């Protein structure tokens, strides 16, 4: 049996798919006997209760008075090196190239003794930041200096290669959901708080960034609600929220839309939905669509980025070109008005989530990447 590892994990610990994946991976690795050290500015929000084998090291930013901007990146790099030394870490697994992979590279230089680093790319670090000429060389350096690089979809691998001329190998490791948490929940009573028995529920969950095209969500819902008695549940919050609230008011849809804000128990909330709407402009993977799939909820969305690698058009959802709200509304209506078709999609969702995005096999993939970089068979 291969030896158990001591792994440092750095991610954005607040809301966001990358933080969710990093934290869940840490929990699963700890269950498998590895020792996990989260090195972040606050406790990852999905960490929850006490876990055996998991430790948290807080990055405190030095606020020395000459600093106009307190240098978080330098504090993080120093903390990484300090924890690596004290805890004798085997490797650092960082989520996001900027700044985390750059900090890991610095920490490695400080250690000078072959601390290994693994970088997982999640999307925005490439699709947005790598477009910025002032950051391009830095991101390329961080990728080249990592001992292994993983990305959450083939589309993201391709984008990374195209934008940054990266020729070194990038491992594909899809995101996953914990099947013990994500399964169809019994939510009849909760559902009745939002919709009458004859009404369908459409749901959108995101951080309300412009890239999510929440405005399209409202456009789709308006078209659907003219033909199917239904409610729209909006979950999460972010920069576009106020604009969306105004749009809903102007369209006279207030009594058909509920804002739920940020929610902790996504599996419970998502289980109320009949369809999930994900019309994003860009999406390297679309973790929320996988969470929905594992709860038996098909996605109506765009065919942007990595979404088609996750959602099989005509089997576990319907995908249309970005901005084609007419087509997305037609897809939703088709599913919401045909019970047999919806049941078929639901079964296909459950099967695909279990078979292709299961926590066990993806955790094993990460483990084998760790052993590979450490030269352990
Ligand atoms: O989508 C976001 O705005 C959040 C972002 C993040 O950093 O957490 O999500 C990215 O990583 C997720 C986990 O791998 C992916 O599921 C999302 O598709 C990806 N977002 C984008 O590519 C826009």
The interface predicted TM-score of the complex, written ipTM, equals 0.97
CA gap 144, 147 in Å, rounded: 8
Cα–Cα distances in Å, from 36 out to 25, 86, 206? Answer: 10, 13, 28
Place of tokens 């390297």: 284
Q: Is the CB of 230 under 6 A from ligand 1?
A: no
What local confidence, expressed as pLDDT, does residue 223 receive? 98
CA-to-CA separations, 131 to 123, 125, 138, 141, in angstroms, rounded = 12, 9, 12, 15
- Measured in Å, residue 193 CA sits from the centre of ligand 1 at 30
Distance in Å, CA 56 to ligand 1 centroid: 23
User: Which of 71, 69, 44 is closest to 55 using CA atoms?
Assistant: 44
Break the chain into its structural domains and give their ranges.
6-176+358-374, 188-356
Instruction: Tell me which DSSP letter residue 237 carries.
Output: -
Torsion angle of C-alpha atoms 98, 101, 105, 107, degrees rounded to 10: 100
Strand, coil or helix: 121? strand
Rounded to the nearest angstrom, the distance between the alpha carbon of 66 and the centre of ligand 1 is 35
Q: Is the CB of 236 under 6 A from ligand 1?
A: no
Q: Dihedral (C-alpha) 41, 31, 122, 17: value to the nearest 10 degrees? A: -70
**Alpha-carbon gap, residue 325 to 115, rounded angstroms:** 49
The secondary element (H helix, E strand) that includes residue 367 is helix 359-374
Classify each residue of 104-143 as buried b or exposed e, where b means 16 or more C-beta atoms within 10 Å of its C-beta: bbbbbebbeeebbbbbbbbbbbbbebbeeeebeebbbebb
Is 96 exposed, middle or buried, given 0-12, 13-18 or 19+ CB atoms closer than 10 A?
A: buried
Low-confidence stretches of the chain (pLDDT < 70) are 1
The DSSP line for 22-78 is HHHHHHHHHHTT-EEEEEESS--TT--S--TTEEEEEPPPP--TT-SS--HHHHHHH
pLDDT for 86: 96
- CB of 285 within 6 A of ligand 1: the answer is yes
Helix ranges restricted to H, 273-324: 287-294, 307-310
- Choosing from 124, 129, 208, 282 the residue with most ligand 1 atoms within 8 A of its CB, the one to mutate for a pocket test is 124
How close is the Cα of 287 to the center of ligand 1, in Å? Answer: 7
CB 120 within 8 A of CB 95: yes
Interatomic CA distance for residues 102 and 98, integer angstroms: 6
What does the pLDDT read at residue 92?
98
Q: Which architecture, in CATH terms, is 6-176+358-374?
A: 3-Layer(aba) Sandwich (3.40)
| Torsion sign, CA atoms 77, 56, 9, 94 | negative
Instruction: Give just the sign of the alpha carbon dihedral 305, 324, 232, 240.
Output: positive
Cα separation of 298 and 345, whole Å?
6
Domains 6-176+358-374 and 188-356 belong to one CATH topology = yes
Running DSSP on this structure, what letter comes out for residue 358?
Answer: B
Among candidate residues 154, 163, 127, the one with its CA nearest the CA of residue 282: 127
As a dihedral over the C-alpha atoms of residue 209, residue 245, residue 299, residue 27, rounded to 10 degrees, the angle is 50
Nearest CA to ligand 1 atom 12: 17
User: Phi-psi region for residue 347, left (φ > 0), alpha (ψ -120 to 50) or beta?
Assistant: alpha
Tokens 């809903």 sit on residue: 248
Q: Which of 14, 16, 163 has the most ligand 1 atoms within 8 A of CB, as the residue to mutate?
A: 16
> Which CATH number does 188-356 carry?
3.40.50.2000
Exposed e or buried b per residue across 247-280, where buried means at least 16 C-beta atoms within 10 angstroms of its C-beta: bbeeeebeebbbeeeeeeebbebbbbbbbbbbbb
Task: State whether the beta carbon of 120 lies less than 6 angstroms from ligand 1.
Answer: no
Ligand 1 midpoint to CA 74 (Å): 25
Residue 125 CA, closest ligand 1 atom number:
7
Residues 6+ away with beta carbon under 8 Å from 192: none
């Amino acid at each position: 049996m291969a030896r158990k590892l001591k792994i440092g994990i750095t991610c954005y610990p607040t809301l966001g798919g990358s933080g969710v994946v990093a934290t869940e991976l840490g929990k699963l690795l700890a269950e498998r006997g590895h020792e996990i050290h989260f090195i972040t500015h606050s406790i990852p929000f999905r960490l929850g209760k006490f876990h055996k084998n998991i430790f948290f090291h807080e990055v405190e930013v030095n606020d020395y008075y000459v600093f106009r901007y307190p240098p978080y990146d330098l504090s993080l790099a120093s903390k990484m090196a300090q924890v690596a030394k004290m805890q004798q870490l085997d490797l650092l697994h960082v989520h996001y190239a900027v700044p985390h992979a750059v900090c890991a590279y610095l920490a490695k230089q400080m250690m000078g003794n072959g601390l290994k680093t693994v970088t997982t790319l999640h999307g925005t670090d490439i699709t947005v930041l790598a477009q910025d000429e002032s950051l391009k060389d830095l991101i390329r350096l961080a990728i080249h200096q990592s001992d292994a690089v993983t990305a959450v979809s083939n589309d993201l691998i391709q984008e990374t290669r195209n934008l940054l001329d990266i020729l070194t190998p990038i491992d594909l490791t899809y995101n996953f959901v914990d099947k013990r948490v994500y399964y169809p929940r019994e939510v009849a009573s909760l559902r009745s708080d939002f919709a009458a028995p004859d009404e369908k529920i459409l749901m959108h969950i995101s951080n309300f960034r412009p890239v999510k095209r929440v405005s399209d969500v409202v456009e789709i819902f308006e078209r659907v609600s003219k033909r199917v008695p239904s409610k729209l549940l909006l979950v999460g919050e972010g920069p576009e929220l106020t604009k969306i609230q105004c749009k809903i008011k102007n369209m006279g849809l207030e009594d058909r839309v509920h804002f739920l804000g940020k929610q902790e128990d996504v599996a419970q909330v998502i289980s109320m939905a009949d369809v999930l709407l994900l019309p994003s402009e860009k999406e390297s993977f679309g973790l929320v669509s996988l969470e929905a799939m594992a709860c038996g909820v098909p996605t109506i969305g765009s065919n942007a980025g990595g979404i088609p690698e996750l959602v099989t058009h005509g089997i576990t959802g319907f995908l249309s070109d970005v901005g084609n709200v007419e087509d997305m509304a037609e897809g939703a209506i088709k599913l919401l008005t045909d019970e047999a078709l919806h049941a078929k999609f639901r079964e296909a969702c459950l099967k695909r989530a279990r078979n292709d995005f299961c926590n066990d096999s993806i955790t094993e993939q990460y483990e084998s990447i760790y052993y590979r970089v450490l030269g352990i068979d």
